[in-house]
Amino acid sequence: MKRKTAQINNTISKYRQNFYNIYHTNIVPIFNEFEGKRKKELITLILIEFLICGFAFWLCYSFFSSIMAGDAYKSILNPFIPVILIITMTIAIWLPFHFNNKFIQTLKLQCMDKVIKAFGNLKWYDCCDLITNNELTKSQLFAFYNRRTALDAFKGKYKDVTFQISETQMYHESGSGKNRTVVTIFRGVIIKFKANKDIKATTIIATKGDHNIKNRCSLPILCIVSGWAACFFADNDMQFTSGTIFWFLVLAIALFAVLALIDRFNKNTNEMDLDEIKLEDPEFTKKYKAYSTDQIEGRYLITPAFMQRFKNIQTAFGTNKVKCSFYGDDLMFAISTRKNLFEIGNLFCSLHNPKQMTKFFDELSSIIALIDYFKLDETTKL
């Protein structure tokens, strides 16, 4: 293990040296030009925010002065001042995000292709579903979702192992208007590798308590839908006494059970069930659960060495939720995080400061290093 770690560190060191050579030669001149634009954008934002806050202060002063004078409703405008104030403050909160996102996008379009040259055969895609929904379904790593937002994506090859990286968000959206509900199924980064192994079964590992797996409706979705359905069937005019609340809960639980049964059996008839694998490592089984369509192959894939490496991913990426799937000849990791990954700069930080670029390098190199870490370039077992 120590030898393998030393090899990985050596590979990352070479990447890092190449990365900073490209950064100082090709990126710094572009960043110098963008630094001037960044300052102008930031000054413009500050001035707009100052004017908005000044307008909001004037509104408040006028409104409360009218109240103190006893003629708050003599002016036609006064009754609408609270609404105008809410709209004004909403714009003031939204503008920094808008300006920042616009600047980040422009910076990436100008610089990203040059930055990733340090990683060799790697290509960047902007807001692209590089890993298809069909692939995500095959992996069985996620619950049912009907809306997906694609962010940064990368495709490359390292040691003859092709890989795809997709920063993505998945949601289940139901209802509309006031009844619209959105449940987050996944938010983070998905990594798909060619496993270079002869895999016939589907085997997945997921953090304990993660219900968003196996292509089924997640627990939050079932709760929301059954609660909404119970409200729909209930009488709109009924008084919520202790008795009616009891029967409402009974109806909601019954609907939940029916929906769970429908979801359980509403699967592809050609798809085999994933049965839980009983692993011998007690420390691993405290945090994770493993499932497979073939118990023998599942245990062959999830070796003690693999379990140790898998546990270390959680520490390396600073997250509590990691899952992976062996399916076909592919291996997919899904790492949950609320951090914005793969950013090379932003409006509120000087581009002369290499901190953001260092963070970008660490994120991308850690993912590519998984090929060495899990020996994906070897045909032997993991």
Give pLDDT tens digits for 119-146. Answer: 878 899 988 888 999 999 888 899 888 8
Give pLDDT tens digits for 99-115. Answer: 999 999 998 988 888 88
Does 80 have pLDDT greater than 90? no
Q: In this predicted structure, what is the pLDDT of residue 238? A: 47
- Sign of the Cα torsion 272, 275, 281, 284 reads positive
Give pLDDT tens digits for 3-17. Answer: 555 655 666 677 777
For range 349-363, the mean pLDDT:
86
Give the chain's length: 382
Of 325, 380, 366, the C-alpha closest to 186 is 325
Q: In this predicted structure, what is the pLDDT of residue 227? A: 52
Q: In this predicted structure, what is the pLDDT of residue 333? A: 92
Burial of 361 (0-12, 13-18, 19+ CB in 10 A): buried
> Is 323 within 8 Å of 211 (Cβ atoms)?
no
Q: In this predicted structure, what is the pLDDT of residue 85? A: 83
Give pLDDT tens digits for 262-307. Answer: 555 544 433 457 888 888 788 888 888 899 988 888 888 888 888 8
Does 173 have pLDDT greater than 70? yes
Does 95 have pLDDT greater than 60? yes
129 CB contacts (<8 Å, ≥6 apart)? 148, 150, 153, 166, 168
Give pLDDT tens digits for 9-54. Answer: 666 677 777 777 888 888 888 888 889 999 999 999 999 999 998 8
Instruction: Please state which of the ranges 143-152, 186-195, 241-250 shows the lowest mean pLDDT.
Output: 241-250
Burial of 163 (0-12, 13-18, 19+ CB in 10 A): buried
Does 237 have pLDDT greater than 70? no
Q: In this predicted structure, what is the pLDDT of residue 57? A: 84
Q: In which band, very low, low, confident or very high, does the pLDDT at 253 lie, cut at 50, 70 and 90?
A: low
Domain limits of the chain? Answer: 1-115, 121-215+272-342, 217-266
Where is pLDDT greater, at 378 or 201? 201
Q: In this predicted structure, what is the pLDDT of residue 100? A: 93
CA gap 320, 243 in Å, rounded = 41
For range 161-172, the mean pLDDT:
90
Which percentage of the chain shows pLDDT scores above 70? 76
For range 314-333, the mean pLDDT:
83
Q: In this predicted structure, what is the pLDDT of residue 328? A: 83
Q: In which band, very low, low, confident or very high, does the pLDDT at 317 lie, cut at 50, 70 and 90?
A: confident
- β-strand partners of 199: none
Q: In this predicted structure, what is the pLDDT of residue 155? A: 92
In the three-class reduction of DSSP (H, G, I as helix; E, B as strand; rest coil), residue 97 is classed as helix
- DSSP readout, 203-222? EEEEETT--S-TTS--HHHH
Average pLDDT, the chain: 78
